[in-house]
Chain A
Amino acid sequence: EPEVTQTPSHQVTQMGQEVILRCVPISNHLYFYWYRQILGQKVEFLVSFYNNEISEKSEIFDDQFSVERPDGSNFTLKIRSTKLEDSAMYFCASKSYSPIGELFFGEGSRLTVL
């Protein structure tokens, strides 16, 4: 069964360092998303990406964040200068042209900022 894959599964970084989280969405999907989940809290929307551009972003997604689809398969989230409060699970998700309900999530990348 096709799935969304994410790397790394866990990354530990020093405050102020740049981090890139990678995602390979399901191959025929058109909409791509990043969500994050701080430990013990709810899943929060960060950004959606469609047709090679950001379609919507939350207030969390400030200038320190960026997304890119550098080729036909990868979808990345970059945090330029990490802060302690960026520590969270980051989930990539994708969907095809069907309604938003059919959103498939990856297993997440745990980011720990020290």
Chain B
Amino acid sequence: NAGVTQTPKFQVLKTGQSMTLQCAQDMNHNSMYWYRQDPGMGLRLIYYSASEGTTDKGEVPNGYNVSRLNKREFSLRLESAAPSQTSVYFCASSQAWEAYEQYFGPGTRLTVT
């Protein structure tokens, strides 16, 4: 099993450009998440999907949109990238959202110039 996969691994955008980060899991998990990791700030939740067909905002949703395409896939879209969105983005999944540990992908390092 590949676990949680993310594409791309690295990306450089110019301010105002858009892009979609892809995430897929093969563990038949119900819940999926998108986080950003910034130095000294730990992980902050952007959006999550408790189950297929539902999505909800996390701590820092502004400037992002998500799509839970099916049970396996959860994408994150930046409509108009800003330098403040330079970060490392992690996708994660868990069996359910209540008391289960999360499994993380390898991350996407995004730089917005």
Partners in one complex: no
Which residues of B are in contact with A by a Cβ distance under 8 Å?
Answer: none
Which residues of A are in contact with B by a Cβ distance under 8 Å?
Answer: none
